[in-house]
């Protein structure tokens, strides 16, 4: 009899049940998509933000040594501390090498062009390197994708250079012209536009800067772009204070601090630290995006609960005679409530299942349209989604069911309830 009553309710109130089920499906679908995106958004947002430049800088260890007396910094400016270019491919051997989007060494040199003193910046454009049997490319192409060149990018093994657009204008030079730097003629392969300090500089292959400075293999700084996890309190712990499992957890987490620590391990006599403005902004952006997704999820579930409440209230009013008859035949409040909660449970499971499937599709659409990659929905999420659907449905139905079990059978049967 119990199952028949539930079945008859769905058969005779198709429109009401369809309305409530649609509300649950839409609310749960949005919640599923937002949960799926939120759990997978960290790496994707971090990779998107990597297009805004490096987040770690590596310098010679001597540059990081403090020499202070009575609070006065007595460390002289060092022009003799350099990293060794031959050590850079070792980055591919570190634990988090797959998180390294790219790196670019920098060697600044002051040169004269005619009567004008100009900064020449040596770097990698898209340098082919080898680590063991592995070949890979890295350079400013990877970490500064917004750099624009009118003309062509120089080859890393050539003598060609790029002129910043402001410098090219002041010198009256253009692509294809020759420029004399330190008594050497170089062809201007292109004009560089970055919107930064490089617009006033000559940007050349690293070997050109090393030759001009007379220091083969020298690197002044190394900029690294790495996909990282937003820092938390544990990330800010001093690794020297960690022991055993705590250190392993810190070391094996893709924090910017732990990646910087590993860079110091593979590059001798180096000091690596995060470019704090970049790393902190990434964490702030990710936190705000996740907060927005949580707000959308709560709004969708609240709207679903309100829609279910309205549909159930109307359904209960239409069924007041049925409720009055059950009460008159001796059914208690618990028995009457059990029937309606069973209907709500069945509605939640059906709507939640359809909503889960729809949310999975929506998550994939969001992944492809925003991040240009696939966002998958793990089946482990299914029972959580069904539980959310049940809670939303029960929350929306509770008030209507409470009023139903309080119907006076006399007035209900007379149609006055």
pLDDT tens for 141-185 read 988 988 999 999 999 999 999 999 999 999 999 999 999 988 889
Contact 201, 120 (CB under 8 A): yes
Q: Tell me, what's the pLDDT at 201?
A: 95
pLDDT tens, per residue, the chain with 417 residues: 555 555 555 556 567 778 788 888 999 999 998 888 877 766 666 666 555 678 899 999 876 544 444 444 444 444 458 999 999 999 999 998 988 989 999 999 999 887 889 999 999 999 999 998 899 999 999 889 889 999 999 999 999 999 999 999 999 999 999 999 888 899 999 999 998 899 999 999 999 999 999 999 999 999 999 888 777 788 888 888 888 899 999 999 888 899 999 999 999 999 998 886 655 566 666 777 778 888 989 999 998 888 888 887 777 766 666 666 666 666 666 766 777 777 788 888 989 999 999 998 988 888 887 766 677 777 888 999 999 999 988 888 888 777 766 655 555 555 544
Domain stops at, among 251, 274, 297: 274
The predicted pLDDT at position 409 comes to 59
Q: Are residues 33 and 78 in the same domain?
A: no
Q: Which residues contact 399 (CB under 8 A, 6 or more apart)?
A: 309, 313
Same domain as 159, residue 219: yes
Closest CA to 258 of 239, 281, 282: 239
Q: Where does a domain end: 219, 250, 274?
A: 274
The answer to whether residues 17 and 158 belong to one domain is: no
- pTM of the full structure: 0.66
The upper half-sphere exposure of residue 218, i.e. CA atoms within 13 Å in the direction of its Cβ, equals: 19
pLDDT at res. 108? 94
Residues 293, 408 share a domain: yes
**pLDDT given at position 282:** 62
Number of domains in the chain: 2
Would 311 be classed as within a structural domain?
yes
279, part of any domain: no
Domain end call among 212, 247, 274: 274
Domain holding 219, by residue range, is: 55-274
Together in a domain, 239 and 299: no
Residues 224 and 305 in one domain: no
- Does residue 184 sit within a domain? yes
Specify whether 21 is located in the same domain as 153.
no
Closest CA to 175 of 163, 158, 185, 157: 163
Distance CA 398, CA 153 (A): 68
In a domain, 27, yes or no: yes
Specify the pLDDT at position 404: 67
Q: Is 321 found in the same domain as 299?
A: yes
Do 160 and 202 contact (CB within 8 A), yes or no? no
Q: Per the domain annotation, does 356 fall within a domain?
A: yes
pLDDT score, position 71: 42
Query: Is 33 a domain residue?
Result: yes
Residue 253 belongs to a domain: yes
**Is there a single domain that holds both residue 249 and residue 137?**
yes
Query: Does any domain span residue 239?
Result: yes
Residues 259 and 303 in one domain: no
CA atoms within a 13 Å half-sphere pointing along the CA-CB vector of 82: 19
Residue whose tokens read 């907060």? 291
Judgement on whether residues 323 and 357 belong to the same structural domain of the protein: yes
Domain identity same for 90 and 238:
yes
**What pLDDT was estimated at residue 49?**
59
């Amino acid at each position: 009899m119990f199952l028949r009553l539930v079945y008859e309710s769905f058969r005779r109130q198709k429109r009401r049940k369809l309305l409530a089920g649609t509300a649950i499906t839409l609310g749960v679908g949005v919640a599923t998509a937002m949960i799926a995106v939120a759990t997978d958004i960290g790496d994707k947002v971090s990779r998107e933000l990597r297009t805004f430049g490096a987040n770690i800088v590596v310098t010679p260890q001597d540059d990081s040594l403090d020499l202070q007396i009575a609070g006065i910094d007595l460390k002289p400016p060092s022009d003799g501390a350099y990293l060794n270019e031959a050590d850079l491919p070792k980055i591919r051997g570190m634990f988090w090498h797959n998180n390294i989007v790219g790196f670019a060494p920098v060697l600044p040199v002051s040169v004269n062009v005619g009567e004008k003193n100009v900064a020449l910046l040596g770097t990698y454009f898209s340098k082919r390197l080898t680590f063991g049997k592995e070949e890979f490319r890295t350079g400013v192409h990877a970490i500064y994708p917004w750099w624009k060149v009118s003309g062509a990018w120089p080859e890393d093994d050539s003598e060609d250079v790029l002129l910043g657009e402001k410098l090219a204008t002041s010198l009256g030079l253009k692509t294809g012209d020759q420029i004399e730097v330190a008594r050497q003629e170089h062809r201007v392969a292109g004009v560089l536009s970055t919107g930064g300090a490089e617009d006033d500089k000559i940007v050349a292959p690293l070997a050109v800067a090393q030759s001009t400075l007379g220091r083969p293999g020298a690197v002044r700084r190394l900029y690294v772009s790495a996909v990282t996890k937003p820092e938390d309190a544990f990330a800010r712990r001093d690794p020297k204070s960690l022991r055993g499992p705590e250190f392993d957890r810190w070391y094996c987490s893709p924090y910017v601090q732990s990646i910087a620590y590993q860079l110091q391990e593979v590059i001798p006599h180096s000091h690596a630290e995060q470019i704090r403005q970049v790393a902190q902004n990434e964490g702030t952006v990710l936190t705000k995006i996740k907060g927005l997704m949580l707000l959308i999820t709560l709004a969708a579930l609240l709207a679903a609960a309100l829609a279910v409440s309205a549909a159930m209230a109307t359904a209960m009013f239409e069924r007041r005679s049925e409720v009055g008859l059950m009460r008159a035949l001796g059914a208690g409040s618990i028995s009457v409530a059990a029937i309606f909660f069973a209907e709500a449970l069945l509605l939640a499971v059906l709507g939640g299942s359809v909503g889960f499937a729809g949310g999975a599709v929506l998550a994939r659409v969001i992944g492809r349209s925003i991040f240009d990659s696939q966002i998958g929905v793990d089946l482990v999420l299914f029972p959580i989604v069904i539980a959310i659907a049940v809670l939303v449905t029960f929350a929306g139905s509770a008030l209507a069911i409470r009023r139903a079990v309080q119907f006076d059978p006399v007035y209900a049967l007379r149609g006055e309830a």
